[in-house]
Chain A
């Protein structure tokens, strides 16, 4: 990795509105969005076609999501993020309200055992947890960067406050329960606290709490039956052949059968036979594995890594602690979500329902991801402070 590639240059662009965009992130995300659209189409084309429905049904909706996402990213980029800081309590409050609404009977709908969606008229659904990620990151960033005069690091009080405001949405997501999102948000919180410069005791303590929490969750039975099943099938894929173990085994076989060059786009027999459930959303990476093979899969991993490394460079370059916090939060969120999703597809991680950023079908996740990218671009554009 050359250091110039990953360190954004400040340049005087002729186009003023284009000035802020980091070209590497822009190009990488665009490629991912394009491939994602092809994958969603590949995952649903023959399925919908074979039952006489519009084979482009999912593709069309996905493209609409991408377009909305692009507007959101653009919007997030052009508004000065420092303005956001002023509205942080409102952003946070909206996030928590969404999470509360999901739990209300009649409003939230249950998919795969988690009450994570709000159904809207017209067959649309939104997933407040996705947008809550942004609320938490911004909320945490505000508190952890808001320093008393003369201090270079957050006080104990600040850290405690930050944990308190992230604990509330985490607890609400736990109630759904959506363990994948809880894992991703918790990891992001730990990373943000660490990068804020908070005393290392806090970081160490948080890591221990996270480990203990995970352990007791399994032991005491905080996890619902469906989650234990998913976790068990992670350990022993043959335990429940009809459900989660089946999914894990099928998904691993599908990825493995791709070989070096893959079966070719739209040509994966496992994908076309729909042997992996949810293959246009959470298991989209099986389509990558089968149809694009090792070469295509590693190319996608490389694109993700490029975006993340570029974001690290932005975090280092910016003078503004708030911007750095936001940047760290977004990096950790993307990184752990990518690892959890692809890791689950390949049997490295337990099965949880988190989509793969920029590739999976699903509006809420697409919007949140694009807002995340917009935040990165925004900070990059204003890094001189």
Chain B
């Protein structure tokens, strides 16, 4: 053996040992390093979960009347894996099925497409689940037609019919409550990937909006899971586990179906009344809150929609209507998502500001036709001079100019355009003591955030918009180049970060950049009514197990206290009562047997409607009653509804009428919704609980 042979043998041997070590290393990595990962991967290949959905818990009102329950529907479903294999991708079958079920083909087509398969613009009504589960095209099929489908498998390949639990909103006592209840739907990919994905299964339905979403984890229950081990051909080789479904818990709300229904119709009436007076009245909201707890007793938004449309199978038309401007965007809950200038209802806050600035609430003030701020005349409402008034009278008749004067003087005292570092900002402070720039924290999703245009807000706003205003001529649209707007832009470019005299004056009467939700105003007036406690509004009252046991009581939460003194609050009680006795609310409440305190608001809205007409005023009425022992705060708002008194105050009167059982000019306590206050006892839960008749 020569040297070269010896060396080559050694090299070959070393190479082969290295190869074997490489294999061992790889083996170590696969089986020990990444072993757990591969074990999970193997498990997901071998096992299949068969999910039996749990019965969803009921949603009931405070006396146990069901707002949401479950019903057995007959679903007609489509198996995409079979349809897609057909030559025409199942078009003929779908057309035949739509014809039989009297549905439009377009709707059926869209319902059976995964959202990702459709362009963004036409995704409405698409299937949010996956291709591998049966996709329902209706859950409410006629049994004889469903039978035809099952019997003629040759004509309807991939189409099946099966009984299915359907969420149903029965609308007892004529209640709608679509915005509060929300709806349920199939899980989407993002739901599965989301933070709560643990415990979600593909074929489940989950809450998508409203209470259904907010309390989903209680309502949903736990689906029964049968895990089977399958082989490559998907035939079952063994069963790994089998758990029974655990039904969901019930949600008891503080709503009352009778009050909710009457609030809804009072709001709809108010809208109709405003329209009959020539206003556009595009939308509105009405809320009844228990001022002692913050519990929501009813909450309505206009326009609304049938909450059952999702489960019936949303048509393309319905899906479009929900967000259509011409239909008033019914999907939006105005009560907690709409933002409006509070106008004169804000004067309750201004009273607190004036008192803290040292103005006497018992002194007299003049109410001229206009006040000069800088070189601009700020007009009183309808430019009427009202002479000299006490503060109480000024609130009652809603004088604006007295606030212009006080706000302007305070603004000057704080340094005007060159603010002192020690600026008191009484008006902003008062507004923030009402938590106007915070959310109410209601247990419903997607609440909007109001805005108090204080110095900090103004600063941020200026930073974001400076560029736009300084280049207004080139950036603005053509129709925005009016001399007024150009001048305004010029001014904003120079000192847009400053609170100007005009801003301070506007703020004192709840105009300008100030906006809040109707729910926020309700919370504020409830705080005034109860002596200063700011409650977190709640709709949910308790979670009750399927066995009837109370699992969790949702206790009211105090968010804060008003900083106003006792005497200021008691002055407000007097003044707001005076509004209804002799002021702007008197006409609407003449002859009403229950003492009501409140404030009208008529907010100017800038901008134009889509058809080019000028926007009408926002009509407000914020109130509480009974005045001597306040229990309920009631607020109504009608967007573009005209005057606060004629549209909203009349609507609020109707709500009180039901609430207190007013018949003619008398109170019939037996007809009152809550003869002894809203119920505290958690009711027995049954899907058959009837509406109380008084």
Binding site for B on A (CB under 8 A): 46, 50, 152-153, 191, 194-198, 200, 203, 250, 252-260, 269-270, 272-275, 289, 293-294, 297-298, 301, 304-305, 308-309, 312, 315-316, 324, 328, 331-332, 335-336, 338-339, 342-343, 346-348
Q: Residues of B contacting A335 with CB < 8 Å? A: 16, 19-20
Q: At the interface, yes or no: B461 with Cβ under 8 Å from chain A? A: no
Which of B1-9, B548-556, B609-617 contacts the other chain?
A: B1-9
A305 closest partner in B (C-beta): B20
B46 engages A270 (CB within 8 Å): yes
Beyond known contacts A256-B37, A332-B12, A335-B20: 7 more, CB 8 A cutoff:
A195-B9, A258-B35, A260-B35, A294-B32, A298-B24, A308-B16, A335-B16
Q: CA–CA, A338 to B16, complex, Å?
A: 10
Which B-chain residue is minimally distant from A47 (CB atoms)?
B231
List B contacts of A253 (CB < 8 A): 38, 41-42, 45
Name the residue among B31, B34, B37 with the largest chain A CB count within 10 angstroms: B31
Separation of A289 and B24 alpha carbons in the complex (Å):
12
The answer to whether B16 and A342 have CB atoms under 8 Å apart is no
Query: What's the minimum C-beta distance from A52 to chain B, rounded to whole angstroms?
Result: 13
B31 surroundings in chain A (CB, below 8 A): 255-256, 258-260, 289, 293-294, 297
Identity of the chain A residue whose Cβ is nearest the Cβ of B27 in the assembled complex? A297
Query: For residue A341, which residue of chain B has the nearest CB?
Result: B23
A346 to B39, CA, bound (A): 15
Min CB gap B156→A, angstroms = 29
The answer to whether B23 touches A256 (Cβ under 8 A) is no
Q: Does B17 contact A (CB under 8 A)?
A: yes
Known contacts A273-B46, A339-B23, A346-B23: A260-B32 contact under CB 8 Å = yes
Residues of B within 8 A of A (CB): 1-2, 4-6, 8-9, 11-13, 16-17, 19-20, 22-24, 26-28, 30-32, 34-35, 37-39, 41-43, 45-46, 229-232, 235, 237
- The distance from the CB of A283 to the nearest CB of chain B, in whole angstroms, is 13
CB–CB B9/A348 < 8 A: no
Q: Using Cβ atoms and an 8 Å threshold, which residues of chain B touch A50?
A: 231, 235, 237
| Interface contact A256-B34, CB-CB below 8 Å | yes
| Distance in angstroms between the alpha carbons of A256 and B27 in the assembled complex | 8
Contact A257 B9 (CB under 8 A): no
- Closest chain-A Cβ to B656's Cβ sits at a distance in Å of 66
Cα distance, A289 to B28, chains bound together (Å): 11
- State A297–B29 Cα separation when bound (angstroms): 13
B18 closest partner in A (C-beta): A339
A-B contacts, 14 listed (Cβ < 8 Å)? A191-B8, A195-B12, A197-B8, A200-B4, A272-B237, A273-B232, A274-B232, A275-B46, A324-B1, A331-B12, A339-B20, A343-B22, A343-B26, A346-B27
Query: A289-B27, A289-B30 in contact; A324/B5 too (CB < 8 A)?
Result: yes
- In angstroms, Cα B181 to Cα A60, docked, is 68
Determine the chain B residues whose CB is within 8 A of the CB of A269 once the complex forms: 42, 46, 229
CB <8 Å contact, A328 and B9: yes
Contact check, B12 vs A348: say whether CB atoms are below 8 A apart. no
B24 and A348 form a contact (CB under 8 A): no
When distances are taken between beta carbons in the complex, the residues of chain A under 8 Å from B39 are 256-257, 259
Provided the pairs A256-B30, A256-B38 are in contact, do residues A250 and B45 lie with their beta carbons within 8 angstroms? yes
Point out the residue from B11, B35, B45, B229 that lies within 8 Å of A194, measured CB to CB: B11
A347→B22 CA distance, assembly (Å):
12
Instruction: Give the distance in Å from the alpha carbon of A194 to the alpha carbon of B11 in the complex.
Output: 9
- Residue numbers in A under 8 Å from B16 (CB-CB): 308, 331-332, 335
B17 to chain A: closest residue by CB: A305
Per a CB cutoff under 8 Å, which of B11, B38, B46, B231 touches A252?
Answer: B38
State the majority secondary structure of interface residues on A: helix
In-complex Cβ contact of A339 among B12, B19, B41, B43 (8 A):
B19
Chain A proximity of B617: nearest CB distance (Å): 61
Q: Return chain A residues, CB-CB under 8 Å to B4.
A: 153, 197-198, 200
Inside 8 A of B45's CB, which chain A residues have their CB? 250, 253, 270, 273, 275
> How far apart sit A263 and B162, CA to CA, in the bound complex (Å)?
40
Shortest Cβ distance from A317 into B: residue = B1
- List of B residues within 8 angstroms of A203 by Cβ: 8
**Which B residues are CB-close (under 8 A) to A293?**
31
Which residues does chain A contribute within 8 Å of B42, judged by CB atoms? 253-254, 256-257, 269-270
Task: Evaluate whether A298 and B12 lie within 8 angstroms (CB atoms) in the complex, with A257-B41, A274-B231 already known.
Answer: no
- Min distance, Cβ A356 to any Cβ of chain B, angstroms: 12
Closest partner residue, chain A, to B229 (CB atom)? A269
Does B9 lie within 8 Å of A316, measured CB to CB? Answer: yes
A338 to B23 CA separation, bound complex (whole angstroms): 10
Contacts of B38 in A (CB 8 A): 252-253, 255-257
Q: Which residue of B lies closest to A256 (CB)?
A: B38
The 7 closest A-B pairs by CB, nearest first: A256-B38, A257-B42, A273-B231, A194-B8, A256-B30, A294-B31, A197-B5
Cα–Cα, bound, A275→B16 (Å): 31
For A197, the chain B residues whose CB sits under 8 A away are 2, 4-5, 8
- Chain A residues positioned under 8 Å from B41 (CB to CB): 253, 256-257
What residues of B have a CB within 8 angstroms of the CB of A339 in the complex? 19-20, 22-23
Among B24, B37, B43, point to the contact of A301 (Cβ < 8 A). B24
A273 to B43 Cα, complex, angstroms? 12
State in angstroms the CA–CA spacing of A367 and B45 once bound together: 36
Contacting pair A301 B229 (CB below 8 A): no
CB distance from B212 to the nearest CB of A (A): 37
* Chain A residue at minimum C-beta to C-beta distance from B38: A256
Q: Would you call B12 and A328 a contact (CB within 8 A)? A: yes
Asked if A257 and B26 sit within 8 Å, CB to CB, the answer is: no
Query: A125: shortest Cβ distance to chain B, in Å?
Result: 24
The answer to whether A348 touches B23, judged by C-beta atoms less than 8 angstroms apart, is yes
A13 to B85, CA, bound (A): 71
Centre residue among A195, A203, A332 by max chain B CB count within 10 A:
A195
Q: How far is the CA of A255 from the CA of B38 in the complex (A)?
A: 8
* CB < 8 Å neighbour of A152 from B2, B20, B26, B232: B2
Contact B5 A195 (CB under 8 A): yes
Cα-based distance from A196 to B11 in the complex (angstroms) = 13
Q: Name the contact of B229 in the complex, choosing from A200, A273, A348 (C-beta under 8 A).
A: A273
| CB-contact partner of A259 in B11, B26, B35, under 8 A | B35
Q: Is the CB of B46 within 8 A of A348?
A: no
List the A side residues contacting B19 at CB < 8 Å. Answer: 335-336, 339
Closest residue of chain A to B23, judged by CB? A342
The answer to whether A257 and B20 touch across the interface, beta carbons within 8 angstroms, is no
Assembled-state Cα–Cα distance A335/B195 (Å)? 50
Select which of A196, A275, A304, A346 is within 8 A of B26 by beta carbon: A346
Q: Is the CB of A273 within 8 A of B9?
A: no
Bound-state CA distance A293–B17 (Å) is 22
Q: What's the nearest-Cβ distance from chain B to residue A21, in Å? A: 23
Interchain CA distance A38-B8 in the complex, whole Å:
38
Residues of A within 8 A of B237 (CB): 46, 50, 272-273
Residue of A nearest to B35 (CB): A259
| A164–chain B nearest beta-carbon distance, Å | 21
